[in-house]
Amino acid sequence: MPEQHPVRHDHALPRVVPLPEDDWDTRTRHLLAAVPRDPGGRVPNIFTTLVRHPELYEQFMPFGGQLLRRGRLPGRFRELLILRTSYNTGAPYEWGRHVPLAKASGFTDTDIDRIVRGPEADGWTTLERNLIRAADELNRDARLRDATWEVLTEHFDDAEMIEITMLVGQYHMVGFFLNSVGVQLDPGFDSAGLVEGKADDE
């Protein structure tokens, strides 16, 4: 059966509009104060959209920050899992925001293209190939196969294995949110490279 590629979820207009700064109340300003800003001081759309649910935002941010900024996985492996999950969920916002982070972790343009082509693409190490398989298996089956688990546990301890599954799950959830509400990619970021449409079934 040919590999199925995810459908892109671009919307001409967001279904939920980011909260304009003129409408920020004291609580909103406090919640957004710690967010890293883009060049020019702009708050990314993901945060100004999610903050419309301040209680959820307040609980989500520490968990997301733990995985993204304070996790146990090396940056290269973290971004490999996130970008493959972005591909699997067809999330252009997630892809566009994480390509620069992946490059900061040492990925080249060739590496980024290889992520789209999957675990069988030439050039991966055995470990990287199995991390991509892990992202794919979690996306498809909601669990890791025994063979993938065994390979990964040769390199990662119990806490890191837990983090792998939680990281992929977290970015599935984020992808569902971004795609469904139509969060628009911020100026200066590009989702080029994320494959559109589905492979033909023939």
**What is the per-residue pLDDT across 156-201, written as a single tens digit (0 to 9) for each?**
999 999 999 999 999 999 999 999 999 999 999 999 988 543 333 3
Q: At residue 202, does pLDDT exceed 90? A: no
pLDDT value for 87: 98
Question: 10 Å Cβ neighbour count for 79?
Answer: 26
Question: How buried is residue 103: exposed, middle or buried, by Cβ count under 10 Å (0-12/13-18/19+)?
Answer: middle
User: Alpha helices, DSSP H only, in 16-157?
Assistant: 26-32, 45-50, 54-69, 75-89, 92-104, 109-117, 126-141, 146-152
d(CA 132, CA 149): 12
Structural domain including 152 reads 43-181
Does 3 fall in a domain? Answer: no
Does 69 fall in a domain? Answer: yes
Q: How confident is the model at residue 155 (pLDDT cuts 50, 70, 90)?
A: very high
Domain count for the chain: 1
- What is the maximum span of the chain, computed from C-alpha positions, in angstroms? 56
pLDDT value for 144: 98
d(CA 78, CA 9): 23
- Reference 98, options 68, 131, 124; nearest CA is 68
Does 114 fall in a domain? Answer: yes
d(CA 152, CA 157): 9
Does 98 fall in a domain? Answer: yes
Does 26 fall in a domain? Answer: no
CATH code for the domain in which residue 141 is found: 1.20.1290.10
Q: How confident is the model at residue 1 (pLDDT cuts 50, 70, 90)?
A: very low
pLDDT value for 10: 55
Does 126 fall in a domain? Answer: yes
Q: At residue 5, does pLDDT exceed 60? A: no
pTM: 0.91
Does 112 fall in a domain? Answer: yes
Mean pLDDT of the chain: 92
Q: How confident is the model at residue 35 (pLDDT cuts 50, 70, 90)?
A: very high
Position 18, amino acid: P
pLDDT per position as a tens digit, 63-91: 999 999 999 999 999 999 999 999 999 99
Does 13 fall in a domain? Answer: no
In the three-class reduction of DSSP (H, G, I as helix; E, B as strand; rest coil), residue 47 is classed as: helix
Calculate what percentage of the chain has a pLDDT beyond 90. Answer: 87
pLDDT per position as a tens digit, 93-115: 999 999 999 999 999 999 999 99
d(CA 40, CA 148): 43
